């Protein structure tokens, strides 16, 4: 098995180091090679996705990514900015299915800003389409009109086959869970998502056991904090999924707890925490590495078909939390506050 390690920027390198530590402790036969992406790619090769990095990712079975982005690159031309490297690698590898599970560990019920009874027992899977929508639609850009005024354009678009393939992922996953899919759209206003709703409805006839419901995205944003346990699988497009998954992460106590998998049609995947690069806390050894460590568990499960080691990693995270270890973002009264690297050590210790 070949794994590409792309630490990226900000807290990326330190959280990835913890995830690699956990992976190595499992003693699996995985060949790991590292390469720069994002701001690190720009520094190394003048490109947020250097060719060598893309080639390495293409030739690997899976990619483990930290995070990209730093304010210091905000003034660069758009195509040189760190985020572009991330969007391009998703597109180049055809990673259209983004799985973002929001799971509340019972130990963290107090860390959520919501009441424990609202979030306890939460186990929700957000499935976000990742290679289409307004993120990639043409035309796009900022241009100057005849009257001298500037205009910004982005285009929300989806074709049927793109909607159907992400819908299938959602229905297939729901079959292994509680058999409920809630499709999120804005079909009352946007034609793109009117088509989305039609295609999801057509597809649902192939999955008679799964209950399909539809919800407008504004209502979904409200329902997620009102009564999040009504959801099993949520499926939605790229931009709505970006926003709703950040919202859902806070149900779990901290965005530092949310892993993700981005899969192509053959379960090749890129695994990364759902959070960003947090440059303000980079290098201080205070970031929460658990989302990245849990992303390794997803990698073992989805790409390496190794459910037993996936569970082992997840159970070790649970055990570390049960022992009271907390990074700053999830610390509550009476717990042992530890840094990023000590949290990684706690998970490794729990493995053995």
Residues identified as active-site? 135, 186, 218, 242, 246
| Contacts of 216 by beta carbon, 8 Å cutoff, 6+ apart | 184, 185, 186, 187, 188
Binding mask 228-267 for Mg ion (x = CB under 5 A): --------------x-------------------------
Binding mask 76-95 for ligand IPM (x = CB under 6 A): -------x--xx--------
Choose the contact partner of 327 out of ligand IPM, Mg ion, none; CB within 5 to 8 A by kind: none
Number of residues forming the site for Mg ion (CB under 5 A): 1
Q: Is 70 in the site for ligand IPM (CB under 6 A)?
A: no
Choose the contact partner of 124 out of ligand IPM, Mg ion, none; CB within 5 to 8 A by kind: none
CB 285 to ligand IPM: min, Å = 23
Question: For tokens 């040189």, what's the residue?
Answer: 80
Widest Cα–Cα separation across the chain: 69
Using CA atoms, how far apart are residues 335 and 196, in angstroms rounded to an integer? 45
- For 16-65, the three-class secondary structure string (H helix, E strand, C coil) is HHHHHHHHHHCCCCCEEEECCCCHHHHHHHCCCCCHHHHHHHHCCCEEEE
Choice between 101 and 326, CB closer to ligand IPM: 101
Using CA atoms, how far apart are residues 322 and 315, in angstroms rounded to an integer? 10
> Is the four-CA dihedral 165, 170, 176, 181 of positive or negative sign?
negative
Choose the contact partner of 83 out of Mg ion, ligand IPM, none; CB within 5 to 8 A by kind: ligand IPM
Choose the contact partner of 14 out of Mg ion, ligand IPM, none; CB within 5 to 8 A by kind: none
CB 40 to Mg ion: min, Å = 19
Q: Is 242 in the site for ligand IPM (CB under 6 A)?
A: yes
Using CA atoms, how far apart are residues 180 and 187, in angstroms rounded to an integer? 20
Residue 5 phi, psi (nearest 5): -110, 115
Residue 284 phi, psi (nearest 5): -100, 0
- For strands 269-271 and 261-263, give the pairing: antiparallel
Choice between 245 and 303, CB closer to ligand IPM: 245
Which tokens in the block code for residue 185?
């759209």
Residue nearest Mg ion by beta-carbon distance: 242
Choose the contact partner of 86 out of ligand IPM, Mg ion, none; CB within 5 to 8 A by kind: ligand IPM
Asked whether 270 and 96 are in contact (CB, 8 A), the reply is: no
Choice between 47 and 242, CB closer to ligand IPM: 242
Choice between 86 and 220, CB closer to ligand IPM: 86
Question: Residue numbers of the site for Mg ion (CB under 5 A)?
Answer: 242
Interacting residues toward ligand IPM by CB under 6 A: 69, 83, 86-87, 242, 274, 276
């Amino acid at each position: 098995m070949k794994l590409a390690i792309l630490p990226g920027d900000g807290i990326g390198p330190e959280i990835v180091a913890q995830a690699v530590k956990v992976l190595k402790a499992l003693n699996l036969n995985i060949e790991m090679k590292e390469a720069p992406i994002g701001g690190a790619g720009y520094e190394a090769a003048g490109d947020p996705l250097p060719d060598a990095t893309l080639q390495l990712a293409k030739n690997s079975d899976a990619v483990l990514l930290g995070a990209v982005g730093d304010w210091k690159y905000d003034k660069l031309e758009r195509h040189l900015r760190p985020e572009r490297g991330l969007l391009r690698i998703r597109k180049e590898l055809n990673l259209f299915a983004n799985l973002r599970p929001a799971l509340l560990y019972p130990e963290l019920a107090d860390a959520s800003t919501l009441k424990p009874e609202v979030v306890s027992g939460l186990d929700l899977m957000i499935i976000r389409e990742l290679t289409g929508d307004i993120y990639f639609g043409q035309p796009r850009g900022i241009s100057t009109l005849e009257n001298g005024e500037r205009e910004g354009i982005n285009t929300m678009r989806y074709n049927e086959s793109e909607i159907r393939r992400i819908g299938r992922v959602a229905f297939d996953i729901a079959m292994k869970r509680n058999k409920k899919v809630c499709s999120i759209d804005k079909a009352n206003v946007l034609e793109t998502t009117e088509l989305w709703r039609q295609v999801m409805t057509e597809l649902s006839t192939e999955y008679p056991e799964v209950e399909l419901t539809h919800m407008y995205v504004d209502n979904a944003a409200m329902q997620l904090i009102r009564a999040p346990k009504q959801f099993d699988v949520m499926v939605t497009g790229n931009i709505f999924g970006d926003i709703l998954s950040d919202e859902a992460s806070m149900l779990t106590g901290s965005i530092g707890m949310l892993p993700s998998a981005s899969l192509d049609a053959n379960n090749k995947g890129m695994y990364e925490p759902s959070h960003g690069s947090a440059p303000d806390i980079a290098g201080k050894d205070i970031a929460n590495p658990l989302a990245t460590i849990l992303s390794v568990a997803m990698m073992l499960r989805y790409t390496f078909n190794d459910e037993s080691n996936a569970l082992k990693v997840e159970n070790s995270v649970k055990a570390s939390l049960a022992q009271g270890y907390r990074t700053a973002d999830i610390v509550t009264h009476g717990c042992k506050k530890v840094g990023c690297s000590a949290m990684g050590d706690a998970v490794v210790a729990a493995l053995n």
